[in-house]
Amino acid sequence: MDPLRIGIAGLGTVAQGLLEILHANSSEITRRAGRSLSVVRVASRSPKPSVDLGTADFSTDLSTLHDADIDVVVELIGGEDTALQLVRDAMAHKQSVVTANKAIIARHGNELVADAGREGVMLGFEAAVAGGVPIVNALTRGMVGNRVQWIAGIINGTSNYILTAMADHGSTFAAALQEAQGLGYAEADPAFDVEGVDAAHKLTILAALAFDTDFRFDAVYTEGITHITTEDIEYARELGYAIKHLGIARSSQDGIEARVHPCLIPRNCMLANVDDVMNAVLVHADAAGPTLYYGAGAGARPTASAVIADLVAMARGDAVDFKVGGADHGALNMEQVETAYYLRVPSLDEPGVFARVATILSEHAISIEGAIQRERAVHVDTSASWVPIIILTHRVREHVMTSALKAVQALPEIVGEIMRIRVEQLD
């Protein structure tokens, strides 16, 4: 058979990893694909003469990737506008597309899947979620006979690295972020990582695939890790929990909830032991039960591995025909979502404060599962000494907790902002 002719947009680390692995594993890839995968052109605004392009030619003009001798365009330039235009143009030229770009799939996936169907081309984005972990394939092929009940994933390596460093070494947030950036995992704008946007992009994709809904980036509740302190990590540990940044999507009679936020999870559950920059996605489904997918969520070679999976599927002509948007489940507003909570309430070191806080919670039908209250003040400043009251609650809807905390915050004995972190048992 004729080779699959590939054009690569971008010559950054992932593109270099792709060239390297296509070359190193070419005999296995050709055998499995039933034909060879041939990179005929690489286009990038910045030439890198030191990179071995093999037999491919090079152009600084991305539009040359739409020449008729290219079957598939691999978009590895990142960012949004130029990448999106390139993908649209490729499909308009009847070229299939492989992309590692979670932002354009999360935000424009509905349009792009429709374009691919209309133009009769294939679209692959295995590399957009959790790098080398084949979670798109798992959801669309391996689990295709299941009703997925919920998904919980550690899907941002940078945030996971920071939380692990804070928990294991007492690192400051800033120092841990700098280390993570040194590993090359962080987005160009690390706010995307630490504010949860990158994880929300990935969760949007996972939720659409798991529940056959549209890509609904705007419906994902998004909270990052910038407010998490080592103090909270320590209290969580004392209570038997780890703090992880999770993406959670769940299907219920009320609709689909999709949320990204820090979360206390039991220290003995598997996700709690996914550390450093690693990613993992736990899928709970009716037939298969729980399945866990773990691996490197970014990096040149793992991401290239995922790109090649899509290219081989295209070479065989059996790329996934995404059925997103087929189901009509509505999106559940975060205010309606039910979780348990960890609360850290900074209060004056005076008798009766805990009772007053507990009374307000009880008036809102929120029951307390556990609490830690130090006998003596741990924080003393010039004006007063105060103690953090730590409370774990049972499950309650978000809007109920919000109004309860408003009342607690108004107590004169509360001396600072209340910290709330959601708690999931993941069982």
Nearest residue to 265 (alpha-carbon basis) of 246, 241, 282, 281: 241
Q: How far is the CB of 207 from ligand HSE (least distance, A)?
A: 17
Interaction pattern, residues 104-133, with ligand HSE; x per rule: CB under 6 A: ---------------------------x--
Closer residue to ligand HSE in complex, CB, 99/339 = 99
Nearest residue to 317 (alpha-carbon basis) of 18, 72, 126, 99: 72
198 part of the interface to ligand HSE, by CB under 6 A: yes
Interaction pattern, residues 156-185, with ligand HSE; x per rule: CB under 6 A: xxx--------------------------x
Q: How far is the CB of 16 from ligand HSE (least distance, A)?
A: 16
Query: Residue for token digits 């309860």?
Result: 404
Please pick, from the candidates 295, 297, 302, 388, the single residue that binds ligand HSE as defined by CB under 6 A. Answer: 297
Please pick, from the candidates 179, 193, 223, 424, the single residue that binds ligand HSE as defined by CB under 6 A. Answer: 193
Cβ(130)–Cβ(201) below 8 Å: no
Residue 202 catalytic?
Answer: yes
Cβ(395)–Cβ(236) below 8 Å: no
What's the DSSP call for residue 414?
Answer: B
Closer residue to ligand HSE in complex, CB, 132/388 = 132
Contacts of ligand HSE in 379-408 (CB under 6 A): none
Cα angle at 223 between 219 and 229, to 5 degrees?
170
The three-state secondary structure class of 248 is strand
Which residue among 48, 202, 244, 323 is the active-site one? 202
Please pick, from the candidates 298, 337, 387, 401, the single residue that binds ligand HSE as defined by CB under 6 A. Answer: 298
- DSSP H or E segment with residue 423: strand 419-423
Identity of residue 364: H
Please pick, from the candidates 89, 187, 276, 369, the single residue that binds ligand HSE as defined by CB under 6 A. Answer: 187
The 3 state secondary structure assigned to 118-180 is HHCCCEECHHHCCCCCCHHHHHHHHCCCCCEEEEEEECCHHHHHHHHHHHHHCCCHHHHHHHH
Tell me which stretch binds ligand HSE (CB under 6 A): 114-122, 186-194, 262-270, 313-321. 186-194
Q: How far is the CB of 74 from ligand HSE (least distance, A)?
A: 16
Contacts of residue 339, defined as CB under 8 A and 6 or more positions apart, other chains included, come to 395, 396, 398, 422, 423, 424
44 part of the interface to ligand HSE, by CB under 6 A: no
77 part of the interface to ligand HSE, by CB under 6 A: no
Provide the annotated active-site residues.
Answer: 202
> Which residue ranges make up the site for ligand HSE (CB under 6 A)?
131, 156-158, 185-187, 193, 198, 297-298
